[in-house]
A and B are shown apart, each in its own frame.
Chain A
Amino acid sequence: MEYHHRLTILDHYIRQLPPFPATVNKVMEICRDVNTSPTDLTKVISLDPVLTGKVMQLVNSAYFGLSREIISPVRAVVMLGMNTVKNLVLGATVMSAFGTSKNFRALNMDMFWKHSLGVGVIAKLIAQKRNIDQKLLEGYFIAGLLHDIGKIPLNSKFSDEYRNILGIPEKKPQPLFISEKQLLGIDHAYVGNLIAKKWKLGEEISDTITYHHAPETYQGVQNDILFTVILSDHFANNSEIGYSGNRYFENIYPEVMRYLGDDTEFSFDNISAFNGEVEQEIENAQIFLKIAG
């Protein structure tokens, strides 16, 4: 298949993607706030009809086995309680970015999702430790969560080629994005950029997706979030948190460590210290793999 033909297929696929929930930042903020009121919670759900549908689908899934259908978020809060509904909303929001298992033909969806979530959680924890403004923290999470989003269309549309790409390191140790370029002429950062445009994601998320394997070429101003996600990605790979197809990681760009280190003397050692926190956050969110797929 020719490069241009592939681009056309991808373009078509991305044009048909559902919109990314505009309220995602607000949802994250509300669900993670221990003082959120029931009204805030149900309001944020109701503002977004797609989210409402997804949450109600989860509430009424076989997982809870409820004997009678729950028909509104208000009822779900009264019956299942704030804690349960908050977690469902958070999960529904996260999963809405990834679609369903039918998009995952070569990569394992659970492992991919775990890797993405892991990078998001770590990026946010690093930002927290670096005393980044509270209001910006969810942006770090989302940038980490979405950094590999470009792999989904490649998986879905060119699954045979992608299986071959995943097998390359057995013969030749090299990072995944290089194999993608060699076999498809396109890598996931490029595809991710197309999605970021379609979803009108902010510059910080869009640049992170586009440059997370090419920080040395980056000319923009979003170094802070980009470098944080690159470090988080390395950490998730080294700690084997999930798996997104990358078996041989390029060396970390020295400027990343210099930049983050300059700020707080950050190092791999002190990231390892919050490994437990990362695992806990991931465990909290894992329910959705079971019920949202």
Chain B
Amino acid sequence: MKLRFWGVRGSIACPGPKTVEFGGNTPCLELRFGEKNRLIIIDAGTGIHPLGHRLVWNDIQDGPITTEIFITHTHWDHIIGFPFFRPIYIPGTKLKVYGPITFEDDSLEKIMGDLLRYRYFPVLHGELTANIEYLQLGECKMDLGDGITLKTKYLNHPLLCLGYRFEFNGKVLCTAYDTEPFRNVFSTDTNAADFDPVVRHEGEEAAREENEKLLDFYRDADILIHDCQYTKEEYFSSKIGWGHSFFEHAIDSALKANVKKIVLFHHDPLRTDQELFELEKHCQKHLGNPSDLEILVAKEGMEIVL
């Protein structure tokens, strides 16, 4: 299994002199499996634009492009690159787009298709020449063929968002973005008008169990790519409930779940290269020595072979 990061940034693309090292594109991850070099893409943030060009230059010589895109959720930063993914304009391209169901129940096809409307873009979805199929997922297990299996799990984000766990040839890759720790959302203030000790207890239990389930989902992964938008200080001062994690939480989760390698991902758009280098050092320090866990901070263009 091979991975290449085409976009590692959260929220909004942020090119500029302060993001040259880690990159400014929003999420897009290229996965390649086995001798067939089968392609699976996770998310269609702005990073999918250069990926699309690469595919058209390289892969198309071997025949039409056939691929699957797994959308973690449909917030802008994870889908906005879709209209700029060149293979969708090439006859013969076969594309399956997967994404989570949502409570609003606009279909995935409608949400993605709406990106290609004249008010936003000069081409309509109906004019695309590629063969595109849309499929919506809840929590499930799937056999993707070629020895690849997939498990999905709801994460904790304001919009239903799926984590993906791919298993191939004894290797496991797991994604956990966008997400934050599950927490008790019910009142813990004994003086508050709506305080109820039973509800508080149940809320705390539920959060604990959901966090356990997430650890089970990551368990023994060779690589875990985890949301790390905030520092601990940022998270606890003003970002609780925004659906993103902080560095220490991601690392501690990886340790508890016996993960071998964690990739810290979904960087805040205001985070400069300098700050990310410093945070990398901070994370190593937090981990302490010696440890079996390897920490990487996601960089655009980074490749990993499992």
Contacts and interface: CB of A to CB of B under 8 A. Distances in A.
Interface of A is mostly: helix
B139 A66 contact: yes
B138 A66 contact: yes
B52 interface: no
A7 interface: no
12 contacts: A38-B186, A39-B194, A64-B138, A66-B139, A74-B186, A74-B202, A79-B210, A81-B157, A83-B158, A286-B105, A287-B104, A287-B105
A3 interface: no
A38 B185 contact: yes
Contacts of A283: 104-106
A38 B186 CA distance: 6
A80 B182 contact: no
Given A64-B101, A65-B138, A67-B139, A77 B185 contact: yes
Interface string A23-60: 00000000000000111101100000000000000000
**Chain A interface residue number, banded:** 20 to 34
**Chain B interface residue number, banded:** 20 to 34
Contacts of B104: 87, 283-284, 287
Interface string B175-196: 0000000111111000000101
Contacts, number: 81
A88 interface: yes
A36 B184 CA distance: 16
A37 B194 contact: yes
Nearest to B105: A287
Given A77-B185, A80-B154, A286-B105, A63 B138 contact: yes
A83 B199 contact: no
Q: What are the nearest 5 A-B pairs in CB distance?
A: A65-B138, A287-B105, A39-B194, A78-B206, A75-B206
A74 B206 contact: yes
Contacts of B105: 283-284, 286-287, 290
B56 interface: no
B159 interface: yes
Interface string A100-140: 00000000000000000000000000000000000000000
A276 to B, nearest CB: 13
Given A66-B139, A87-B104, A287-B104, A39 B206 contact: no
B160 A84 contact: yes
A72 interface: yes
Given A40-B194, A64-B101, A79 B187 contact: no
